[in-house]
Amino acid sequence: MGVIPNKTAFERDVSAKSFPAEHPKVNFGKIGVLLVNLGTPDGHDTVSMRRYLKEFLSDRRVIETSRWIWWPLLNGIILNTRPKKVGELYASIWNKEKDESPLRTFTRSQSDQLFERFGKDDRFVIDWCMRYGNPSIESRVNALQEAGCERILVVPLYPQYCAATTATVNDKVFESLMKMRWMPAVRTAPAYHDDPAYIDALAQSISKHLDGLDFEPEHIVASYHGIPKSYFEKGDPYHCHCLKTSRLLNEKMGWKEGFLLSTFQSRFGPEEWLQPYTDKTVERLAKEGVKRLCVVNPGFSSDCLETLEEIDGEVREEFEDNGGEHFSHIPCLNDSAEGLDVIEAIVNRELQGWV
């Protein structure tokens, strides 16, 4: 048999080999956009909570304590005592209609609305997942690849960069790629703590909320999730990102100096965390005679346990128990039009060169 004309040596070699008559369909040519949030348990029962907390608290980015110290604490004490307590807290904010946490409800809605904003362009596949819990990062990266996404933009929904949030999302994405024979090209969106679209959206959301109140706050507290002080001392930029967000928000709103206070919440364990602490600050303000207070959470893209239960529950009680009279929690951007404006702006910017 003569040489097959107009074929390379590689193509001639392949054509001479024996392959199955039918090949699975290979999709290609798509661009995936994957929104990623922190995580959520599948339910507020003890079993679901234990599974979720084990995955979360086993992450070396979240808990940097020596495994020799941490593993006995985690498996011997924490996972035998915390699931029931935390499950009860989740039950108090649970979306009973959909039988899921608010974070899952909002993140799904953000993904659906982003799909609508892209005009159902068939070049794009829009999806969402959680760093901890379901749907997992690996399952959705695989799904995007199988749907023909040769390029994937990963958008961690954390305004401020932190190794325990943004970095661990990126870790998990690239771990998923390591298991693939045919990897898509991947981009990861950077933090957007100082993005004009984000600051504008915060300002619009806060203004709308304040306009609907029957009182004028004496202070607004910007409460961010805390991290151990040691993480900051090792070079994590999170603290700086938080303070920059507050500064830009204050400038945008035109508030007088001292009206907006930046604090940090959700600490646990004996180690010192970033200060000032939210609960202690609110308690101090109430004892000093402040009667009207609002709290906003610029470090959260969606309301969750830390905002709905901790701030609008525990911190509210702290304020009122110490003499405060009017308290209001300003919702996160969630799946509002302002919130989607931010996500759309980030996605459009990071897709440049791909579309």
pLDDT at residue 120, rounded to an integer: 77
pLDDT at residue 20, rounded to an integer: 53
pLDDT at residue 22, rounded to an integer: 59
Locate all alpha helices (DSSP H) within the chain, ordered by sequence: 9-16, 46-57, 67-73, 79-93, 102-117, 137-146, 168-178, 196-211, 229-233, 238-253, 278-287, 316-321, 337-350
d(CA 253, CA 248) in angstroms, rounded, equals: 9
The reported pTM is 0.91
pLDDT at residue 119, rounded to an integer: 77
Distances in whole angstroms, Cα of residue 322 to Cα of each of 67, 145, 153, 213, 235: 40, 54, 47, 22, 37
Taking the chain (355 residues) in consecutive chunks of 10 residues, what is each chunk's mean pLDDT? 38 43 70 97 97 97 94 94 96 97 98 92 94 98 96 98 98 97 96 98 98 98 98 98 98 97 94 97 98 98 98 98 98 98 98 94
Assigned architecture for domain 196-330: 3-Layer(aba) Sandwich (3.40)
With beta carbons less than 8 A apart as the criterion, state whether 132 and 168 touch.
Answer: no
- CATH 3.40.50.1400 occupies which residues in the chain? 30-192+338-350, 196-330
With beta carbons less than 8 A apart as the criterion, state whether 95 and 316 touch.
Answer: no
- CATH number for the region 30-192+338-350 comes to 3.40.50.1400
